[in-house]
Structure 1
Amino acid sequence: MPKMGIAIIGAGMIGAAHASAYRQFAHRFSGGALRLRTVCDMNPKLAQDLADKFGFEGVSSSWEEVLADPEVGVVSVCLPNMLHTEVTMRALAAGKHVLCEKPLALNADDARPVHEAARAADCISGTVFNYRRIPALAQIKQRIAAGDLGKPVQISVLFQCDYAADPLLPYSWRYKFDKAGPGALLDLGTHAVDAMRFLFGDVAEVVGAASTISIGERYLPLGTAVGHGHVELSKKKEKVDNDDVMSGLVRFANGAQGYVSASRVAVGSGNRLAIEVHGTKGTARFSTEQPSHYEIALMDGTGPANFARVPNRPSSPSVGALAAVPHDLVSIGYAEVFGFMIHEFLSAIDAGKPFENGSIEDGYRAAQVLDAIQQASVINAPVRINWQD
């Protein structure tokens, strides 16, 4: 690996997750090949605070300047949704290895050129689908592939958060369709849809979908909010025009059915991904609220099937090589899983091989499913997905 610098473009909440993971794993690659070079944000204080916290060499307020820097070779795009497409395309054109936050774009039409550019580029690229690295989820995928659960029948994936449940949370780009796209569907449902595809393969049809806006207006802030933080509010309100909750019923190419739901107003759910998979021989289930294990029930012909707990072990995916404490039942949290993804991305760069477990193509395919769910909720009718596009 030639010597190159790492840049974080966007110093908000998710930019900090990238910065932390790079700091944790960049040193594992031989010869001092990687260095923490630049944090970029339009807010100079945010950029400097993040750079100081994680040991980056410098800051910038211009992503164009970062992409023009010959000493920057690896870029994480951690900007608001509406900027992902342009900056990722420009990073690919500049020959940078690029990891783009989800969603890849606000819709599939915008995501497709990114996919095409990534396929034509010589650099390594990917979409942030960090939940694929949860050891329990990766093990469930292995069990499905091995046929342990039998023929896939049904999958349920719920991504529930409550960051927008408080009506006094200030209005921001997240609540405006032309800036954020669909609300909970795109912000959270992207992960849920990718989890469905990760476990069950391509979706053939969205049979139906329902959308709800539960908080129709929000106050404009007087100051600058970071992430989902509260600030002093003005007396002026703006209309929320994207969903707080979105649910869809889908049919997979393998004949199975699926239910996917995303909510940003699920009171009491800080950041909950819950998955239940049913096959002709068994069921597996997992929740991020209990990350140290998954549960599985298998028919063995001797009587009713009961759920057994399968803990994280040193042999679980990523655990033995990367976890700080590779031991039975030690919980693997969000930050560790995020680090596993960054390590995998850097390993792909080091080996000069495609980053396939959460590729730019996966980001595009997720966008196609999300578009179909959004369309089905509007027309109240099924929507077929053409995977030949």
Structure 2
Amino acid sequence: MKEIGVGVIGTAFMGKAHSLAYAIAGTAFGDGLRPRLEVLCDINAQRGQAKRQEMGFARSTTQYMDVINDPKVELISICVPNVVHKEIAVAALRAGKHVWCEKPMATNVAEAEEMLAAARASDRQTILGYNYTQNPLVHAARQLIEEGAIGRVIGFHGIYDVDNEADPDRPHSWRMNREASGCGANADLMCHLVSMAHFMTGSEVARLVGDYDTVHQQRSDPKNQGRTLAVDNDDVCTALAHFASGIKGTLRVSRVAWGRKCGLRWEIHGSQGMICHDQERLNEIKLYARNEDPRQQGFRTILSGPCHQPYDAFLPNAGHALGFIDVKACELHKLLTAITTGEPAWPSFEDGIKIERVMDAIDRSVLSGQWLDV
């Protein structure tokens, strides 16, 4: 199996998730490219060295340009705060590297457009970390929709609730600052919901009206005891959406919803049925297919299994359950296949800009109080 050298920039949760996916992918899929862990980057040298040993990289650095300029590195993971996504992605693409960038693309559409321009000027492959769309069972649900299992699609309705910031005593962080992260729940959570809406319906949000709520408007300053900092982005974001295909939908996300840990839930309404999914139960979907006999009407639970490829790359029997990192490895496999074949993976930067424009339109709609075209 041919190898590809990889570098990961960032060692927190997503940096570790990418590193684990790299370690898993070559063994799980056994075809195409086998990732080789070359360089890990962290601004803290001591932490970077510790994580290098923990994750199995050949070397570590505190400078992301060391990763980009390393001749042994062909693929770069960007797992750092949103505010530096653009500068790293553009530099990596100009240096001829493939890019796996965590979501959202950037803090604003202008920066995302620069990333797209760099990708278009390059012959390298890109993918964004909308991993919930890479679940084999989600792909199976989309296939059922395409085969007509629920008739004509007439609506998409989604919620993504988490309680990451529900505690009012939680200190201020970069995620609560518009300059550092862009929007709040809109950037961090709505992007996942929009990516799912685009993927599952095969259509894109074309027109919308949005609304924000900042529930906790002041947070304690972690660097100055007794002082507070203003939260200048959204805790809750809601939108009514019209899609290019003519369907309509609702989108709502919250980062202050107590009890929800990864509450990404969506429904695809059809003229002859419905398909539902809950990310906290990622190995099952609910299917309601219209039946003339009322005694047999009701939702059916479908458990993930080998018939929902590439589940079979991990497990031989249904119901044994994949996890977050397994789905991350599926996401990586899409990128590795794209690198091998030259055919883009979904969502590339071309797809990602369409997601960014939806979030930007929501933000502008909130400020104007009007329905806006995306």
Q: Does 1:53 align with 2:54?
A: yes
Displacement of 1:265: 0.7
Cross-structure match for 1:312 = 304
Displacement of 1:213: 0.4
Classify the secondary structure of the residue corresponding to 2:274.
Answer: strand
CA offsets 1:304-356 (integer angstroms, 9 cap, x no match): 731111111211131012x2x3322222221111111112222322x242332
The CA distance in 1 between the partners of 2:335 and 2:146, in whole Å, is: 24
Distance 1:236 1:45, change over 3 A: farther
Classify the secondary structure of the residue corresponding to 2:100.
Answer: strand
Pairing 1:104-119 to 2, within 5 Å after superposition: 104-119=105-120
Pairing 1:242-281 to 2, within 5 Å after superposition: 242-281=233-272
Q: Does 1:18 align with 2:18?
A: yes
Q: Does 1:160 align with 2:161?
A: yes
The CA distance in 2 between the partners of 1:215 and 1:281, in whole Å, is: 42
Question: Is the CA contact (8 Å cut-off) linking 1:202 and 1:253 kept in structure 2?
Answer: yes
The CA distance in 1 between the partners of 2:192 and 2:34, in whole Å, is: 32
Cross-structure match for 1:367 = 356
The CA distance in 2 between the partners of 1:270 and 1:34, in whole Å, is: 31
Question: Is the CA contact (8 Å cut-off) linking 1:176 and 1:240 kept in structure 2?
Answer: yes
The one-letter amino acid of 2:8's match is: I
Question: Is the CA contact (8 Å cut-off) linking 1:132 and 1:195 kept in structure 2?
Answer: yes
Classify the secondary structure of the residue corresponding to 2:74.
Answer: strand
Pairing 1:82-231 to 2, within 5 Å after superposition: 82-200=83-201, 201-206=203-208, 208-222=209-223
Structure 1 length-normalised TM: 0.91
Displacement of 1:105: 1.3
Q: Does 1:342 align with 2:332?
A: yes
Classify the secondary structure of the residue corresponding to 2:288.
Answer: strand
Classify the secondary structure of the residue corresponding to 2:103.
Answer: coil
Displacement of 1:52: 1.4
Question: Is the CA contact (8 Å cut-off) linking 1:125 and 1:354 kept in structure 2?
Answer: no
Structure 2 length-normalised TM: 0.94
Kindly tell me the number of residue pairs found equivalent between the two proteins.
371
Question: Is the CA contact (8 Å cut-off) linking 1:107 and 1:181 kept in structure 2?
Answer: yes
Classify the secondary structure of the residue corresponding to 1:211.
Answer: strand
The CA distance in 2 between the partners of 1:296 and 1:3, in whole Å, is: 41
The CA distance in 2 between the partners of 1:126 and 1:62, in whole Å, is: 23
Distance 1:92 1:2, change over 3 A: farther
Displacement of 1:49: 2.6
Cross-structure match for 2:322 = 332
The one-letter amino acid of 2:5's match is: G
Classify the secondary structure of the residue corresponding to 1:381.
Answer: coil
Displacement of 1:258: 1.1
CA RMSD of aligned residues (A): 1.8
Displacement of 1:32: 8.6
The one-letter amino acid of 2:324's match is: Y
The CA distance in 1 between the partners of 2:161 and 2:48, in whole Å, is: 30
Distance 1:198 1:33, change over 3 A: closer
Classify the secondary structure of the residue corresponding to 1:88.
Answer: helix
Unaligned runs of 5+ in 1: 223-232
The CA distance in 2 between the partners of 1:111 and 1:31, in whole Å, is: 30
Classify the secondary structure of the residue corresponding to 1:355.
Answer: coil
**Structure 1 residues 240-249 or 111-120, which shifts more?**
111-120
Cross-structure match for 2:72 = 71
Displacement of 1:4: 4.0
**Paired-residue identity, %:** 31
CA offsets 1:252-298 (integer angstroms, 9 cap, x no match): 11111111111111100111211111010111111012222111111
Unaligned runs of 5+ in 2: none
